[in-house]
Amino acid sequence: MSNSRAARLRRLVSSLRFRISAAFAALLTAALIIINYYPVQLMRRQVISSKETEMTAAAMTLAAALESFSELSSENVYDAVQLLEVMRERRVLVTDNGGMVIYDSSKTSDVVGRLAVFPEIIGALSGKDIFRCRYSEVAFESCAAAPVVHSGKTAGAVYFYDYDTEQAALLRQTRTDLLQLSAGLSGVCLFGIAAFMFSFSRRLGLLLRGVKRVGQGEYSYKISMQGEDELSAIGDEFNALTEQIQKNEEMRRQFVSDASHELKTPLASIHLLSDSILQTPNMRREDVREFLTGINEEIERLTRISESLLNLTRLDAQPSARPVPCDVGAVVRRCAELLGGSAAKYGVAIEVHSSGQHLILADPDGLYQVVFNLMENAVKYNRPQGRVEVEVLDDEAVTVLRVRDTGIGIPQGQLPHIFGRFYRVDKTRSRATGGTGLGLSIVAEWVKSLGGRIDVRSEYGKGTEFSVRFVTYRKGGAAQ
Amino acid sequence: MKRTARLSCLVLTLLLAGCGTSAVPAAQEGQSEAQVYFLGPTPVGSAVRPFVTESRSITADSMTEILEELIACMYYPRDVGNRPLLPPQVKLRSVTCAGSVAVVDFSSEYQRLSPLEKSLAAAGTAMTLLAQEGINYVRITAAGAFQPPMGEKYYSEDRILMNSQAIAANAFDVVLYFISENGEGISPVQRTIKTEEEYPSPYALLMELLNPPEGDGLIAPLMKEEDVNFCQMEQDVCHIDLSSLQSGQAGQLQIHAMVNTVAGDNSVETVVVTVGGKPPSSVGVEGCDGEMTFSADYIQ
C-alpha cells in the first residue's frame, strides 16, 4: 500500500507537469520575496540617509553658530535656534563641555540643569559628529550630535532628536500595499499557471495518446492540435511521420503482394510443365526436352527476379560504396558492346555519341547498372529496324546521359508510375522479353543513390527518351 | 593537526569554563549584589562607547564600607573591552553617608580631569552608588571642594540622563472627534500622535483638534491654541476652560467633540467644560453644563 503510494508520489514528482509547476512556483516566490523585501529596504535606507543628511547638517549648523559665543547660555542658544530655524519638529538639546544641559527646546518636559551623558553627547564632546537612526514599526527615531568648538576647545555639544511617525507610517503603508499587490499577483499567477498546466497537460496527453495508438499499429491515427506553438509543431510532425509510415507500410504490403505474384507466375509455369511431363506416359524425347527448356527459362526468370530484388534490398539497406571517378562514356561504350548481340537479334541499331571523358563521382557498379538497364530497355522495347541513340554530354557542371529509342513509347498516364516496383507498361511484352518489372526501379534507386536526377519523355508509338543528370567531377577539386 | 585539535579543545574548554564563571554568581550569605558602571566597548557601526554595568558581590557590612568597596570596583572592569570611568590617578579619599545622602571625596587629581572626564566619572560614581538601597543623593568633591558639572548640587537618578530614552518621544494611536461638514454631528478620526510625555495629556489631545484632516470636509472644534484657557486634571475629572464658544447647536457640537476626544482616554472619566469660568449655558449652549461623559448621540 505504502509502496504504491510512494511510487505514485515518485511519478508525480518526476512528471513534467510537476516540475514546470514547481519551477513556476519557485520563480513566483522569489519574485514576490524580491518585490516585498527590496523596495521596503530601499525606502528605509533612503529615509535614514535623508535623515542623516538633514539632521547632521542641522546639528553642525547650530554648532557652528554657537562657536561664536565665548560662553553658552540658554538665552544665546535660544536665539541661535530661533534664528536658524533648525528646530522644526525636532527636539534640540545643547550641553556645556561637561554634558550639563543648558538648553532644551521641549515645552513640556525640559531637562535643563540635568547631566546628559548619552553616548551620542559623549561622542560629540569628544569631538566627533554622531548620527544614529533606529527604525521601529511606529517611527524612525534618529539623533545627531555635533561638538561646539570655541578657541580650539570643546565648549559643548548640540544634540538633535527626531521621532518621525509619518515616514514610518508611509513605509508601513507601502509594505501593506506591496503585500496586497503580491497577494493579487500570486492569485493571478497561480490561476495562470493552473490554466497553462491544464492546457499543457491536455495537449501533452493528446500527443501521448497518439504515440500509443500508432505504437499499436493504428497508423491512420491523427493528432488534432490547435495553436502554433512547439507542441502544435510536434503534432504536425507526428502526423506527417505517421502518414509516411502508413505510406511505407502500404508500399511494403504492395511490394510483398507484387513480389509474390511475380514469383508465383514462373513457379506456376514450372509446375504446369513438370506436371505435363509426369502425367504424359511415353512422352517423346523431343517434347520432354522442349518442356525442360521451358522449365529452365522459368528458373532463369526466377533467378533474375531474385537478383533484382536482392539488388533493390541492398540499395534500400546499405549506402553505396565509396564513390570514385567514373567515365560515363566508357561505361556506355562497354554496354553498347555487350548489348550488340541482343540488338542485332531484334534488328535494332545502337548509336553512341560521346567524345572524350565525362567523369562523375559514382559507384562503378551502380553506374553500370543504370546505363545497362536503360540501354537494354531501349533495345528490348524497340521496333524491328529501330534505333537506340545514346548521348553523353557536359552541360556546364552537369554530365547528361540521354538514351533515346524509336520504340513503342509509353502512354502519358503511365509515365509517373514507370519507376514503381513490378510496374509494367505492356505486361505481355515485358514477360515475353524476360522483363522482371524491376529494371527501372533499380535505375531510379541507383540514380538517387548517386545524387543524380532522372527524367523521362515519351510519345506513345514513337519512342522514349530518358535523361540522367550527374554532377560532373573535376580533377583537383570536389564534384561541382 | 593533532596540536590544532588539542588547542581547539583547550580553547573550547576555557570558553565553556569562562561562560560558567562570567555568569553572575548567586550572592552567598553575608554578601550583596551590586551593579558597577563602566564604559562599554564600541558597538559595531557606532563611534561611541555606551555605559554598561558589571555585577559585583559586596561583602562589606556598613553602608560606608559598601560604597567604598563599590567605588574600588569601579577601577577594575572584568569584561574585556570595558573601560573604567575613574582614572587610576584619581584616588578615593573618603565616603561619607548621612541618611540618604552620600558624599564622595576624591583626591585632588580629580580637579585636573577634563570637563568630560569629570562628568563621566561623576555620573558613573553617582549611578553606581544610587543603585544602593537607601542612597538617593550623591555629592562629589575633590580634596573637599565642590566639582563641576553639578558643583554643590546633589546627583540624583532624575538628574543624570544616561541615554536618549529620557527624552524620547512616544507615539500613540488616538481617536479625535471633528465636526462634520454639514454641521449636524461629529465624526471620529484615528490619528497617530507623538508626544514627549509618557502618555498624551488631555491638553495635547485638545491641541490635536486644531488640525482637522485634509480633504474630508471635517471642521475643527477649536480654531486656535488660545481658545483653551486651561486644561487640568483633578482626580478623574478633566476641567477645560475655554475663552470663547459658539452659541446654539454649533457650540454643543464643539463641546461634544472635545469631551469625546478627551474622555476616550482611560484616565479621564468625566469632563467639565466652562467658558471664561462660567457654564456653557451662559453663552447660549444648553445641555452641556456640569460633568459630561463620552456620548455616542452626535456621532455620524
Distance CA A433, CA A427 (A): 10
Q: Is residue A476 part of a domain?
A: no
pLDDT above 90: percentage of residues in chain B: 57
CB spacing of B161 vs A118 below 8 angstroms: yes
Q: Is residue A479 part of a domain?
A: no
**A80/A209 same-domain check:** yes
Contact B258, B290 (CB under 8 A): no
Cα of first residue to Cα of last residue in chain A, in angstroms, is 69
Q: Is residue A258 part of a domain?
A: no
Of the pLDDT bands very low, low, confident and very high (cuts 50, 70, 90), residue A2 is: low
Put simply, whether A143 touches B (Cβ < 8 Å) is yes
Distance CA A31, CA A13 (A): 23
Residues 6+ apart with CB under 8 A from A224: A206, A235
**A47/A174 same-domain check:** yes
**A441/A430 same-domain check:** yes
Domain C-terminal end among A253, A272, A302 = A253
Put simply, whether A336 touches B (Cβ < 8 Å) is no
**A127/A7 same-domain check:** yes
**A391/A282 same-domain check:** no
Question: What was the pLDDT predicted at B151?
Answer: 83
Question: What was the pLDDT predicted at A449?
Answer: 84
CATH code assigned at A174: 3.30.450.20
Of the pLDDT bands very low, low, confident and very high (cuts 50, 70, 90), residue B297 is: confident
Q: Is residue A352 part of a domain?
A: yes
Q: Is residue A335 part of a domain?
A: yes
Please compute, for residue B49, the number of CA atoms within 13 A of its CA located in the half-sphere on the CB side. Answer: 15
* CA distance, residue B204 to nearest chain A CA (Å): 10
**A342/A433 same-domain check:** yes
**A96/A162 same-domain check:** yes
Give the number of other CB atoms < 10 A from CB of residue A238: 19
Put simply, whether B28 touches A (Cβ < 8 Å) is no
Of the pLDDT bands very low, low, confident and very high (cuts 50, 70, 90), residue A308 is: confident
Closest chain A residue to B169, measured at CA:
A163
Question: What was the pLDDT predicted at A222?
Answer: 87
* CA distance, residue B196 to nearest chain A CA (Å): 7
Chain A partners within 8 Å of B127 (Cβ): none
Chain B partners within 8 Å of A138 (Cβ): 171, 192
List the 147-186 stretch of B: residues with Cβ below 8 A of A: 148-150, 155, 158-164, 166-171
Q: Is residue A478 part of a domain?
A: no
CB pairs under 8 A between A and B: 109
Chain A partners within 8 Å of B170 (Cβ): 163
Q: Is the pLDDT of residue A439 over 90?
A: no
Mean pLDDT of B103-120: 93
Chain A partners within 8 Å of B231 (Cβ): none
Domain that holds residue A227: 220-253
Chain A partners within 8 Å of B50 (Cβ): 119
Of A106, A161, A169, the CB nearest to B164: A161
Question: What was the pLDDT predicted at B11?
Answer: 46
**A171/A51 same-domain check:** yes
**A170/A203 same-domain check:** yes
**A159/A202 same-domain check:** yes
pLDDT 10s digits, B164-211: 888 888 888 899 999 998 888 999 998 888 877 778 889 989 999 998
Question: What's chain A's average pLDDT?
Answer: 87
Q: CA separation (Å) from A376 to A418, A443, B190?
A: 15, 12, 109
State the Cα torsion B181-B182-B186-B189 to the nearest 10°: -30
Of the pLDDT bands very low, low, confident and very high (cuts 50, 70, 90), residue B104 is: very high
CB spacing of B149 vs A125 below 8 angstroms: no
Q: Is the pLDDT of residue A128 over 50?
A: yes
pLDDT 10s digits, A243-290: 988 888 887 887 787 778 778 878 888 888 898 888 888 888 888 898
Question: What was the pLDDT predicted at A425?
Answer: 73
* CA distance, residue A109 to nearest chain B CA (Å): 7
Task: Note if the bond before B279 is cis, omega within 30 degrees.
Answer: no
Question: What was the pLDDT predicted at A432?
Answer: 61
Q: Give me Rg for the CA atoms of chain B.
A: 30
Question: What was the pLDDT predicted at A320?
Answer: 63
Put simply, whether A264 touches B (Cβ < 8 Å) is no
State the Cα torsion A195-A197-A202-A203 to the nearest 10°: 110
Question: What was the pLDDT predicted at B149?
Answer: 83
Helix (H, G, I), strand (E, B) or coil at B76: coil
pLDDT above 70: percentage of residues in chain A: 95
pLDDT 10s digits, A363-404: 888 899 899 999 988 998 888 889 999 999 988 889 999 999
Of the pLDDT bands very low, low, confident and very high (cuts 50, 70, 90), residue A430 is: low
CATH code assigned at A455: 3.30.565.10
Question: What was the pLDDT predicted at B254?
Answer: 94
* SS3 per-residue string spanning chain A: CHHHHHHHHHHHHHCHHHHHHHHHHHHHHHHHHHHHHHHHHHHHHHHHHHHHHHHHHHHHHHHHHHCCCCCCCHHHHHHHHHHHCCCCCCEEEEEECCCEEEEECCCCCCCCCCEECCHHHHHHHCCCCEEEEEECCCCEEEEEEEEEEECCEEEEEEEEEEEEHHHHHHHHHHHHHHHHHHHHHHHHHHHHHHHHHHHHHHHHHHHHHHHHHHHCCCCCCCCCCCCCCHHHHHHHHHHHHHHHHHHHHHHHHHHHHHHHHHHHHHHHHHHHHHHHHHHCCCCCHHHHHHHHHHHHHHHHHHHHHHHHHHHHHHHHHCCCCCCEEEEHHHHHHHHHHHCHHHHHHHCCEEEEECCCCCEEEECHHHHHHHHHHHHHHHHHCCCCCCEEEEEEEEECCEEEEEEEECCCCCCHHHHHHCCCCCCCCCHHHHHHCCCCCCHHHHHHHHHHHCCCEEEEEEECCCEEEEEEEEEECCCCCCCC
Q: Is residue A243 part of a domain?
A: yes
**A203/A277 same-domain check:** no
Compare B171 and A233 and report the one with higher pLDDT.
A233
Question: What was the pLDDT predicted at A371?
Answer: 92
Question: What was the pLDDT predicted at A427?
Answer: 64
pLDDT 10s digits, A149-185: 998 899 999 999 999 988 998 999 999 999 999 999 8
Question: What was the pLDDT predicted at A228?
Answer: 82
Into how many domains does chain A fold?
Answer: 4
Chain B partners within 8 Å of A165 (Cβ): 171, 192, 194
Closest chain B residue to A131, measured at CA:
B46
Which of B53, B113, B161 best tests the A interface by mutation, with the highest count of A CBs <10 A? Answer: B161
Distance CA B104, CA B135 (A): 12
CB spacing of A99 vs B51 below 8 angstroms: no
Residues 6+ apart with CB under 8 A from A218: none
Q: Is the pLDDT of residue A291 over 80?
A: yes
**A164/A16 same-domain check:** yes
Put simply, whether A150 touches B (Cβ < 8 Å) is no
Q: Is residue A480 part of a domain?
A: no
pLDDT 10s digits, B222-273: 999 889 999 999 888 999 999 999 989 999 999 999 999 999 867 788 999 9
Chain B partners within 8 Å of A130 (Cβ): 47-48
